[in-house]
Amino acid sequence: MPREYTYFRKYIILKKDYTNIENINPRGHAKLEVRGNRAVLNLNLDNCEQENYYRVYLLREINGRIEEEDLGRIFTDDRGRVRADIPLNLRELKSKGFPIDKTNAILIRRGISLLLAGYIDKDNKIIDSFIENLMEERLGSLPEEGIEIEDVEEVIEEAVEKIEEDVKEEIVDGVEEEAVDEEIIKEEVVEAKVEEEIIEEEEEEHKEEEIDDSNEQDQEEMVVQESTEPIMDFDSSHVDKGDIKEEIVEKIEEERIEEASYMSNYEELEYMRRLHHKKQMTNYILSVLRFFPQVQPLKIYLRNYTWWRIEDDGTQPYRGFLPYYNYLMSTDYKYPFLENATTCMEQISKYGHYLFGLYKEDGDVKLYVYGVPGRFTSEEHPFRGITGFNTWYDCVNGIGYWVLYIDPIKGKVIYPINPMVPSY
């Protein structure tokens, strides 16, 4: 690999040779694109666990020992896919002993659950060695001493593993049942549509018979003659065409009602699955936030809101451990049509922290909330509001916070109808 990084791009095939997660067949690739002293690692993964998370690591052999550098957390969607861009600071990586031209491999895992891995340049077997050492360390004897609070990353990993142990069976069973139910519903909906088409064809045939009254008797006789095995005597003179049409219409209406019921059940299952995911994610959040101070920074009291202060210098955005942190991290890019607009990371770096909050109604979490410090001025309005920071609250220290609201069910930003922004 070149030592001068004016511009460089490399594609990396991520192999499933090391996967030890059951019931999935993952595949994917990565693209490493370098411009000057900055780079972006683009990940494109499929067939992973649905609505779960993994961590991305760089691997390198240093003085005979294989070291890893954590690039942060990635999340899968409801189809088990990941589409993510992870920004890299090459100078920072080099200072940590990971110059990009000496880094050997990429590994994606969650604890000892291995997903995908690939070599950046050539296969020198360090992935195999690292995984072997990882398994020996994790499955060996546990340390007698407790966790050091100062090591926040280790505390977070332990909290996540505990949650996984508590809810793993429930999640797997729920997902499997929902998947089976959804397949059954889909099949039944298809069958109902086929039956409806058949009924519509029969109705058209009966309409044609009514139009051609003069040939009706001849057609009935022809049908009787062509029948090789008559079941019963049939006297067409006693058949009321109006009754037949009415029965067909009723049958079609019944099928439509039944199909609507199937679709309603499908939508309900989808909502329940997302609700279950929100509950799991909220439990994780609360387990992590207990290591951070709970605060009440605003001048006005917002009912049903709870806030935590997260100390952060803004220099390592890829280490964000809270859900949907990418809404802050991904906005650390300059839009060409917004010159001199500040970013979330610039504001966090300037004031040394950010807020995370939960909004509840009747004990149920309805919103995830991020608060980025900044004054009520256009100069400190993150991206002038185009990414969702369109509400501002004054705080006790006179600075204030720009607030972003996120729907935990859909994972999408909520834009306020009446934004509270400075004039431009």
Do 390 and 415 meet the contact criterion of CB atoms below 8 Å apart? Answer: yes
Note whether 208 and 309 are same-domain residues.
no
Two tokens, residue 284 = 């994780």
Would 284 be classed as within a structural domain? yes
- Does 171 score more than 60 pLDDT? no
Alpha-carbon distance of 381 to 375, in angstroms, equals: 8
Would 155 be classed as within a structural domain? no
What per-residue confidence (pLDDT) applies to 115? 95
- Does 220 score more than 50 pLDDT? no
Note whether 131 and 176 are same-domain residues.
no
Q: What is the pTM of this model?
A: 0.43
- Does 276 score more than 70 pLDDT? yes
Do 79 and 49 meet the contact criterion of CB atoms below 8 Å apart? Answer: no
Within 10 angstroms of residue 183's Cβ, the number of other Cβ atoms is: 10
Longest dimension (CA), the chain: 99
Q: Match 């896919």 to its residue by tokens.
A: 81
Would 332 be classed as within a structural domain? yes
Alpha-carbon distance of 56 to 70, in angstroms, equals: 6
Query: What are the φ and ψ backbone dihedral angles of 401, each rounded to 5 degrees?
Result: -140, 135
- Does 5 score more than 50 pLDDT? no
Would 157 be classed as within a structural domain? no
Note whether 14 and 135 are same-domain residues.
yes
Lowest mean pLDDT among 221-225, 285-289, 359-363, 380-384: 221-225
Over the chain, what is the mean pLDDT? Answer: 76
pLDDT digit string, tens, across residues 102-130: 899 999 999 888 999 999 988 888 998 89
Contacts 24+ apart (CB under 8 A), 141-150: 149/291
Do 405 and 413 meet the contact criterion of CB atoms below 8 Å apart? Answer: yes
Amino acid at 354: Y
What per-residue confidence (pLDDT) applies to 108? 95
Would 161 be classed as within a structural domain? no
Note whether 348 and 272 are same-domain residues.
no
Note whether 284 and 188 are same-domain residues.
yes
Which residues does residue 15 pair with via DSSP β-bridges, in sequence order?
A: 117
Amino acid at 14: L
Which residues does residue 378 pair with via DSSP β-bridges, in sequence order?
A: none
Alpha-carbon distance of 11 to 126, in angstroms, equals: 19
Do 308 and 289 meet the contact criterion of CB atoms below 8 Å apart? Answer: yes
Would 220 be classed as within a structural domain? no
Note whether 112 and 70 are same-domain residues.
yes
Note whether 299 and 273 are same-domain residues.
no
Percentage of the chain modeled with pLDDT above 70: 64
CATH of the domain at 103: 2.60.40.200
Note whether 101 and 182 are same-domain residues.
no
Residue at a domain's end among 123, 141, 159: 141
Note whether 27 and 125 are same-domain residues.
yes
pLDDT digit string, tens, across residues 181-208: 445 445 544 454 555 555 555 556 555 5
What per-residue confidence (pLDDT) applies to 156? 52
What per-residue confidence (pLDDT) applies to 373? 96
Two tokens, residue 400 = 């204030």
Domain that includes residue 64, residue range? 7-141
SS3 state at 393: strand
Which residues does residue 102 pair with via DSSP β-bridges, in sequence order?
A: none
Note whether 70 and 174 are same-domain residues.
no
Would 42 be classed as within a structural domain? yes
Which whole-number Å values give the CA distances from 396 to 62, 359, 403, in the listed order? Answer: 48, 20, 16
Alpha-carbon distance of 341 to 345, in angstroms, equals: 12
Two tokens, residue 389 = 């920071």
Two tokens, residue 12 = 């990396």
Within 10 angstroms of residue 264's Cβ, the number of other Cβ atoms is: 11
Note whether 89 and 178 are same-domain residues.
no
Tell me how many domains the chain contains: 3
Crossing angle of helices 152-211 and 241-289, rounded to 10°: 170
Residue at a domain's end among 99, 125, 141: 141
Alpha-carbon distance of 267 to 153, in angstroms, equals: 38
Note whether 113 and 44 are same-domain residues.
yes
Which residues does residue 420 pair with via DSSP β-bridges, in sequence order?
A: none
Residue at a domain's end among 273, 288, 303: 288
- Does 96 score more than 80 pLDDT? yes
Would 162 be classed as within a structural domain? no
